[in-house]
Amino acid sequence: MCLMVKCALCVHLIYSDIVQRSREELKAIRETNPGLKPTLAIIQVCLCIGLNVMQICLPRQCTEEEVSDEILRLNEDSRVYGIFLHLPQSFLSKSVRNAIKPQKDVDGVSDLNVGRVVLGDQRDGFASPIAGAVLEMLARHGVYLFVYAFRHMLLHLHSKVFTEMFVAVVICQHVVRSSRRWIQEQQYQPWRLHPLKLQPLSPVPSDIEISRAQTPKPISQLAQEVGLLPEELEAYGNTKAKVHLSLLNRLQHQPNGKYVLVAGITPTPLGEGKSTVTIGLVQALSAHLKLNSFACLRQPSQGPTFGVKGGAAGGGYAQVIPMEEFNLHLTGDIHAITAANNLVAAAIDARILHEATQSDKALYSRLVPSVNGVRCFSPIQMARLQRLGINKSDPSDLTPEEVRAFVRLDLDPEKVTWQRVIDTNDRFLRKITVGQANTEKGNARQTQFDIAVASEIMAILALTDGLADMRARLGRMVVGSSRNGQPITADDLGVTGALAVLMKDAIKPTLMQTLEGTPVFVHAGPFANIAHGNSSVLADKLALKLVGEEGFVVTEAGFGADIGMEKFFNIKCRTSGLKPDVVVLVATVRALKMHGGGPNVTAGVPLPKEYISENLQLVADGCSNLKKQIQIAHLFGVPVVVALNAFKTDTQAEIDLVCRIAEASGASAAVQCHHWSRGGRGSVELAQAVKKVASQKNYFQFLYNLQDSVVEKIRTIAQKVYGADDIELSPEAQAKIDYYNQQGFGALPICMAKTHLSLSHMPEKKGVPTGFILPIRDIRASIGAGFIYPLVGTMSTMPGLPTRPCFYDIDLDPVTEEIKGLF
């Protein structure tokens, strides 16, 4: 919303998008002039309803023409809702009036009543009877409105000459109306979603062809349709936008919508289509049942995009568009994570080198240098001193022992756990030796690169609830330990603030849309084995506010339900405090046949005949896995809807059998869905089932208490979720547990790093394996993200490129700018 007032040759604009700036200015005024109470009171009135002041100065001797010029310019500013002028009568000539009249006129400039502008004396501000009366009148209209010669005043404040301040209060019927609308906008807005029409073709074209055939809505339009304010949006081109976290504050009193998790049965190596079900479900809910809904998805790594075929934006007629933007840089979050992660790595090795080559004194004089003859600790160094128990703030007071403790992190190069990352499938970086140049003076050591999404910073992004929390988690990250066994953190390296700065934009979720023009948040994409494999808490929270009480947020968990869903409940929901209402469990006839004893399914090899012709016995036997995964969800007290993701080769008898067994196993409903070939229309039955089940009462609970011992927590998951008889700890794992307990990390939740291809740790064991002992090979911890991760088997954190990577097919038409060959 915008006002414009001409007073004392200053033109004032009120933009709602500079709230923060005005608050800072208010703070500065307060600090500089403690005696300014009455005037500040008025400023506060202004700020408390979120109105903010910006001015454009016209030259002191400006001409009528310059005024009309200024007005014409404002006419073209799309953020200006209306224009209000306070001009000397002599300026209200025809040319000025003409400049205003035929142009944008939301609030009826033609009715402008110049006589109703009141100027208060600057020395009494709020106390002035005139200004007070005007404010009273405004209050009767239910709104305070206020325009202030802000910069003018500030100038005087700066020069400490405070003699010419004045207050101008303007009232006008249209201003009041427009302001009332502005205040309404601060409240929850019912959606006015205009879905995009889909005309599915048969046979179904390639994913990129489908994506390209649909013209997405401008992202600003979608944002407006779902009740976002323009100032809450940062567009990145026309199809992606970041959403400000201030939304959580604005809608804090708005009840959350229903919270739906999409999980899957134990999959084949081909995947069973959880993302596609997620998109299909929101397309059905929003575009067909006319229920507000949001999908929350993980951002995929760019590495596999160029490695092995397969996008992550859904598929067929259930996709996020434009899919190439989704699969490529998006809004740069993963690049920011890479930069932050690698700054920590560079800081570690540089610190090891500097400590190895400098005396305590030299280190100290460099770390706490004399600047213009003054030495002082930076805030992050003060924090380190406190952790060391040194309560001194003057650098010259430290004893030599204290100096030594302060300057030497004494990192053990053998015990650095922090790895560098890169968002490329680069297998040659799986094990490397760094520091071999002469300049590194013999400090070479072996280390590795992981794929960027395996960074702990990605896990933090997914679990944090705001900037302050993210900054704190980044500082807590343990990067290795000192030679005497103390954990060394990012805070010790002094790098926390820089990491927060690098991540300041990444923390905002990215808004995109489905093929049917319904909203999607894409945010974070941590690994599903060494991390928890769920999209961000923040995206879910924003979406739950936006959909409103009757709406739905559909979020997805990586891998099978035994891993992704268990972590969703025990880690993500515990962190966020959110309670899930329904689990949608995705199954395919193909995966069920595999669990029933069908032959191996391998990517790139044609499916054996069992999978393309009817085989009810295999299906019936394989439903054991489905039943077990339903039971796992019930352990947490959450009802299950089974979504049978239909393939062309499935027979009706097979489908009916699965649905019958699923319902007999306790699923609240079991339906087949056809979003891949038909879009949201193909998943309407699923959407109806989800809607019905979500309205039932449920009894969500965690599987373990954080205060249980680490071993107890691991055992609970192994026995209750995986069906193991017990667990077996390697001596290494036991030693780590002792170490974590000693360091006070024992009360963190558990994040199992296990294969997703079996309920057990043995990928070849399908169905519901029993009678096994789960071996815990090693245990690691992501202290910043806030979990301990036991390793069951070896986990690759760096994919490789095949002989023929899919980049052979990818190209860009230089004329049309069209991308070819991307899935």
Span from 40-48, 86-94, 431-439, 565-573 in contact with its own copies (CB under 8 A): 431-439
388 near its own copies, judged by CB under 8 A: no
Residue 18 contacts its own copies per CB under 8 A: yes
CA separation for the pair 500, 236 (Å, rounded): 21
Contact at 8 Å (CB) between 345 and 504?
no
**797 makes contact with its own copies (CB under 8 A):** no
Binding range to its own copies, per CB under 8 A, among 104-112, 522-530, 562-570, 648-656: 104-112
447 is catalytic: no
Instruction: Provide the H-helix boundaries in 527-683.
Output: 537-547, 566-567, 574-576, 589-595, 616-635, 652-664, 675-678
Q: In the window 525-564, what residues touch its own copies (CB under 8 A)?
A: none
Annotated active-site residue in 528, 531, 561, 670:
528
Has 676 been annotated as catalytic? Answer: yes
**Residue 616 — φ and ψ, nearest 5°?**
-70, -30
Q: Is 274 or 471 the residue whose CB approaches its own copies more closely?
A: 471
| Nearer residue to its own copies within complex by CB, 728 or 811 | 811
**810 to 300, 313, 320, 603: CA distances (angstroms):** 18, 17, 19, 20
Q: How far is the CB of 811 from its own copies (least distance, A)?
A: 3
Start-end of H helices in 390-512: 400-407, 456-463, 467-476, 490-493, 496-502
Which residue, 85 or 223, is less far from its own copies as judged by CB?
223
152 vs 713 by CB, closer to its own copies: 152
Cα separations in angstroms, 624 against 587, 610, 616: 12, 18, 14
Question: Does the annotation count 276 as an active-site position?
Answer: yes
The amino acid present at 700, given as its one-letter code, is F
Residue with smaller CB distance to its own copies, 127 or 810: 810
What are the CA-CA distances from residue 202 to residues 159, 624, 647, 677, 714 (Å)?
73, 34, 14, 8, 49
Question: Contacting its own copies (CB under 8 A), which of 306, 700, 702, 739?
Answer: 306
What would the DSSP string read from start to end of 170-223? E--HHHHHHHHHHHHHHS-------PPP----SS---HHHHHHHSPPPPHHHHH
User: Do the beta carbons of residue 211 and residue 324 sit within 8 Å?
Assistant: yes
Closest CA to 475 of 487, 462, 491, 488: 491
Among 346, 388, 603, 664, binds its own copies (CB under 8 A): 346
Stretch that binds its own copies, among 134-142, 353-361, 608-616, 653-661 (CB under 8 A): 353-361
Among 497, 608, 637, 775, binds its own copies (CB under 8 A): 497
Query: In the complex with its own copies, which residue's Cβ is closer, 331 or 672?
Result: 331
Select the span of 99-107, 547-555, 662-670, 697-705 touching its own copies (CB under 8 A). Answer: 99-107
Name which position in 466, 597, 637, 775 contacts its own copies (CB under 8 A). 466
CB 188 within 8 A of CB 255: no
In the window 354-383, what residues touch its own copies (CB under 8 A)?
Answer: 354, 358, 363, 366-369, 378-381
Q: Which parts of 67-96 interact with its own copies (CB under 8 A)? A: 69, 73, 76-79
711 phi-psi bin (left φ>0, alpha ψ -120 to 50, beta other): alpha
Alpha-carbon separation of residue 212 from 189, 196, 208, 366, 411 (angstroms): 31, 14, 6, 56, 52
Using N-to-C axis directions, what is the helix angle for 150-158 and 19-32, rounded to 10°? 40
Q: Binding residue for its own copies (CB under 8 A) from 185, 360, 410, 440? A: 440
Task: Name the catalytic one among 326, 559, 787, 823.
Answer: 559
Active-site residue 274, yes or no? yes
Binding of residue 429 to its own copies (CB under 8 A): yes
Only one of the segments 120-128, 293-301, 499-507, 590-598 lies at the binding site for its own copies (rule: CB under 8 A); that segment is 499-507
Residue 310-329 contact track with its own copies, rule CB under 8 A, x = bound? --------------x---xx
- Is 298 among the catalytic positions? yes
Q: Rounded CA gap, 57 and 10, in Å?
A: 5
Could you say which of 84, 636, 676, 823 is catalytic? 676
Each residue 238-257 as x (binds its own copies by CB under 8 A) or -, in order, gives: x---x---------------
- Phi and psi dihedrals of 429, rounded to 5? -95, 10
Q: Does 432 bind its own copies (CB under 8 A)?
A: yes
Question: Which candidate in 647, 772, 787, 823 is catalytic?
Answer: 647
Q: Does 468 bind its own copies (CB under 8 A)?
A: yes
Length of the chain (residues): 823
Nearer to its own copies, 88 or 237 (CB): 237
Q: Which is nearer to its own copies, 238 or 696 (CB)?
A: 238
Stretch that binds its own copies, among 42-50, 182-190, 333-341, 675-683 (CB under 8 A): 333-341
**Shortest spacing between CB 273 and its own copies, in angstroms:** 22
Task: Between 45 and 810, name the residue whose CB sits nearer to its own copies.
Answer: 810
Nearest Cα neighbor of 584 from 629, 546, 619 is 629
Distance CA 460, CA 478 (A): 13
Q: How many Å apart are CA 733 and CA 722, to the nearest integer?
A: 19
**Euclidean distance between CA atoms 547 and 530, whole angstroms:** 32
Could you tell me which stretch among 130-138, 640-648, 701-709, 812-820 binds its own copies (CB under 8 A)? 812-820
Q: Which of residues 178-237 bind its own copies (CB under 8 A)?
A: 192, 194, 197, 199, 201, 215, 218, 220-221, 224, 234-237
Whether the CB-CB separation of 166 and 121 falls below 8 Å is answered with: yes
Interhelix angle for 129-140 vs 37-48, to 10°? 20
Q: Is 287 in the site for its own copies (CB under 8 A)?
A: no
Question: x/- binding map, residues 108-137, to its own copies, per CB under 8 A?
Answer: x-----------------------------
Q: Is 418 a catalytic residue?
A: no
Tokens found for residue 210: 């489908």
Contact set for its own copies, span 149-168 (CB under 8 A): 155, 158
What single string gives the DSSP state of each residue in 233-283? EEEETTTEEEE-THHHHHTTTSPP-EEEEEEESSPPTT---HHHHHHHHHI
Nearer to its own copies, 126 or 449 (CB): 449
Which residue of the set 298, 476, 713, 715 is catalytic? 298
3-state secondary structure 626-665: HHHHHHHHHHCCCCEEEEEECCCCCCHHHHHHHHHHHHHC
Tell me the number of residues near its own copies by CB under 8 A.
126
User: Binders of its own copies among 48-67, rule CB under 8 A?
Assistant: 54, 56-57
DSSP notation for 296-363: EEPPPPSTGGGSSS--SSEETTEEEESHHHHHTTTTSHHHHHHHHHHHHHHHHHHHHHHHHHS-HHHH
Which residue, 219 or 565, is less far from its own copies as judged by CB?
A: 219
Contact status: 603 vs its own copies (CB under 8 A): no
Nearer to its own copies, 332 or 597 (CB): 332
CB 684 within 8 A of CB 284: yes
Q: Of the candidates 414, 423, 265, which has an alpha carbon nearest to the alpha carbon of residue 334?
A: 423
Question: Which residues belong to the active site?
Answer: 274, 276, 298, 309, 528, 559, 647, 676
